[in-house]
Amino acid sequence: MMVKGMLGLVLVAVFAATAAVLFSLDSMAASRGDDKPAAATPAAVQDPNVALPLASFAGQVPENAEELAKAREPYDATLPPLQSGDLVRVNMTLKDMTVEIAPGVKYNTWAFDGHGAPGPIIHVREGQTVEMKLTNGGSIPHSIDFHAARIAPDRAFRDAQPGESFTFRFTAKDPGVYMYHCGTKPVLAHIANGMYGAIIVEPKKSLPKVDNEYVLVGSEWYMNGDGIKEPASLDMAKARARMSDWVTFNGYANQYVTHPLTAKPGETTRFWIVAAGPTSNVNFHVVGGMLDRAWVNGGLTNLPQTGVQTVIVPAGGGGVFDVKIDDVGLYPFVSHAFADVDLGQVGLLKVGNPPGTMSH
Ligand SMILES: [Cu+2]
């Protein structure tokens, strides 16, 4: 111990002396006006607690971004209708594909049913049985995990090998809005690559009637390039560091700013929200409005909170929010974690036809 300690002291002294010499050489070079680059800092005096910076491609788009955003069909956020009968069959084929996640920004996803992200919206009524047939058309194992299901995950949520199909059933017993996702390890990578979607279980006893119903799935993207010249893929280090490049509703930055969701004055709009993550929450808020009824955590067997401003939808969770707006105007809906707004998690609810917006 003693020897080691002394050795340490000697080493520190040597490094200190080296640093001092380098410093004095640098000062001399500077005083001579010498433009040679300064000597690199010796590794031993670098701070080991400072991680290497990761490059961010946040917000980088091509020059014609606006044009591209206008030309692109938005993901249809409208809640699809219920199906009749006791059994609802859902078929999904997993596929590797390249999608656009922001104007001119391409990303290599693993997609549920050729949808890119999110996968198809599933809408059932409490008590219906879902028969899920999953076919793996991708190149590695995948699976599907429904938060709406009470089921043994080792059987139902098991991996499907490439080329394999398998079917399982569950009865939707708990009304709410739920995430589904691929649960294959590492789950962080499979969700970050776009393997998620929403399932809505409508309660047997209907919710208050509303005029418009939209489903929004929040998620974030972590990229190893800007995705402009060639498609980006997942940067796992950035996903672990929670350093998002883009944050989206329904998989594409700002799509409902360019193509707003709509309501008429005096109407109530219901937002079914899922935060898919993989890691970020959605802090749901409607600018200029109030969440008149808020089923926090998407639990529809509970009474809603009333008249609240912002509700956290946790990663892996859901929320149902009714918003009544009387006056004509453009009302942004956001995650009020504003870094995420900057990265694309914002849209507009266009109420009536405010001046200058007749094109939509
Ligand atoms: Cu997967």
Cα-Cα-Cα-Cα dihedral sign, residues 143, 148, 149, 153: positive
The CA 19 to ligand 1 mean position distance, Å, reads 50
Q: What is the pLDDT of residue 6?
A: 38
CA distance 291 to 289: 7
Q: Tell me, in angstroms, the distance from the centre of ligand 1 to residue 181's CA.
A: 8
CA of 59 to the centre of ligand 1 (A): 27
| 159: Cβ contacts below 8 Å, ≥ 6 apart | 141, 142, 143, 184
Compute, in angstroms, the gap from residue 195 CA to the centroid of ligand 1.
6
Instruction: Tell me, rounded to whole angstroms, the distance of Cα 306 from its chain centroid.
Output: 27
**Can you say whether the dihedral through the CA atoms of 252, 278, 129, 296 is positive or negative?**
negative
> What pLDDT does 357 receive?
72
- Domains of the chain in sequence order: 77-351 (2.60.40.420)
Q: In this predicted structure, what is the pLDDT of residue 115?
A: 76
* Ranges of the chain whose pLDDT falls below 50: 1-45, 359-360
Give the Å distances, CA to CA, from 47 to 5, 41, 50, 199. Answer: 21, 11, 6, 47
Q: What is the pLDDT of residue 60?
A: 96
The confidence score (pLDDT) of residue 49 equals 58
Q: Which tokens go with 186?
A: 């590492």
User: What integer pLDDT is reported at residue 52 of this predicted model?
Assistant: 66
Distance 180 CA to ligand 1 centre (A): 11
Specify whether the CB–CB gap between 308 and 292 falls below 8 A.
no
CA distances from residue 201 to 170, 251, 271, 322 in whole angstroms, order as listed: 12, 22, 14, 16
CA 66 to mean position of chain CA atoms: 22
- Residue 123: helix, strand or coil by DSSP? strand
- The CA 146 to ligand 1 mean position distance, Å, reads 13
Note the pLDDT of residue 81. Answer: 97
Q: From the CA of 61, how far away is ligand 1's center (Å)?
A: 28
What residues have CB less than 8 Å from 105, skipping those under 6 apart?
A: 60, 61, 226, 227, 228, 232, 246, 253
Contact at 8 Å (CB) between 244 and 107? no
Ligand 1 centroid vs 6 CA: distance in angstroms?
A: 54
Report how far ligand 1's centroid is from the alpha carbon of 229 (Å): 26
What is the Rg, in whole angstroms, of the alpha carbon atoms belonging to the chain? Answer: 26
Q: Cis before residue 355, ω within 30 degrees of 0?
A: no
Tell me the CA distances in angstroms from 223 to 128, 218, 331, one per residue in order: 39, 17, 30
Q: Helical H runs in 253-314?
A: 255-258
The rounded Å distance from CA 190 to ligand 1 centre is: 5
Element (H, E) at 340: helix 338-342
As residues whose CB is below 5 A from the ion ligand 1, the structure lists 142, 182, 184, 190, 195
**pLDDT for position 190:** 98
How far is it, in rounded angstroms, from Cα 273 to Cα 128?
21
Query: DSSP of 12-61, one letter per residue?
Result: HHHHHHHHHHHHHHHHHHHHHT--SPPPPPPGGGS-TTSPPPPPP-TT--
Rounded Cα–Cα distance for residues 109 and 65 (Å)? 21
Q: How far is the CA of 332 from the centre of ligand 1 (A)?
A: 33
Using DSSP's 3-state secondary structure scheme, residue 203 falls into: coil
Q: Cα dihedral angle (300, 304, 305, 307), rounded to 10 degrees?
A: 120
pLDDT of residue 108: 97
pLDDT at 35: 42
The pLDDT of residue 217: 98
CA of 111 to the centre of ligand 1 (A): 8
Q: What's the mean per-residue pLDDT of the chain?
A: 88
One-character DSSP codes across 210-253: -SEEEEEEEEEE-BSS-SSSS-B-B-HHHHHHT--SEEEETTBT
Q: Ligand 1 centre and the CA of 315: distance in Å?
A: 17
Whole-number Å distance, alpha carbon 238 to ligand 1 midpoint, is 19
- Read off the pLDDT of residues 212-253 as tens digits, 9 standing for 90 and up: 999 999 999 999 999 999 999 999 999 999 999 999 999 999
pLDDT of residue 20: 39
